[in-house]
Structure 1
Amino acid sequence: MAKRFLTYKHRCHKHYLKFQTPEEAHKNPPEHMKAEDWAKLCGHFESEEFKELLEEDLEKDLNENIEANLDENSEQMYKDPIELKLYFDTHHKKDGTWTHPQAQENYEQMKALCKQAIDEGTEISGRQILEKVLKSKSGYARGLGYGVKPISSKDLEFEAILQAKKMAAEKRINELTEQIKNQEEQIKIQQATINDLRES
Structure 2
Amino acid sequence: MFQKKSHDLVLGCNATTDMIHYKLGVTISFTNYIPAISASYSDSHSLKRKGRGPTRGKGTDDIVSAAGKISLEISKKLGRAIGNQQARLASECGYVVRSFAPLCYKRWIDIPYEEKNKLYDRVLAKFKLDLTVEHVHKCVNDTLARRYRDYRCRLKEKYFNGKTLDDAMKNCPTDIKQVDWDWLCQYWSTPEFQALSTRNLASHNCIKYNHCGGSKSFVACLQGKRSITKDNAQGEIKLYYETHYSQKKGWVNDEARIKYEKMLQIKEQPIPEGSEAPTELEIMQEVLGKSRGYIRGLGHGPKPASSHSAHLTSVDTESIALREQIQKQEQELLDMRAKISHFEALMHQFVSNQVGMSPQQAEPATMFSMPPPTDNI
Q: TM range, normalised to the smaller chain?
A: 0.3 to 0.5
| Structure with larger Rg | 2
TM-score by length of structure 1 reads: 0.34
Q: Report the structure, 1 or 2, having the larger helix content.
A: 1
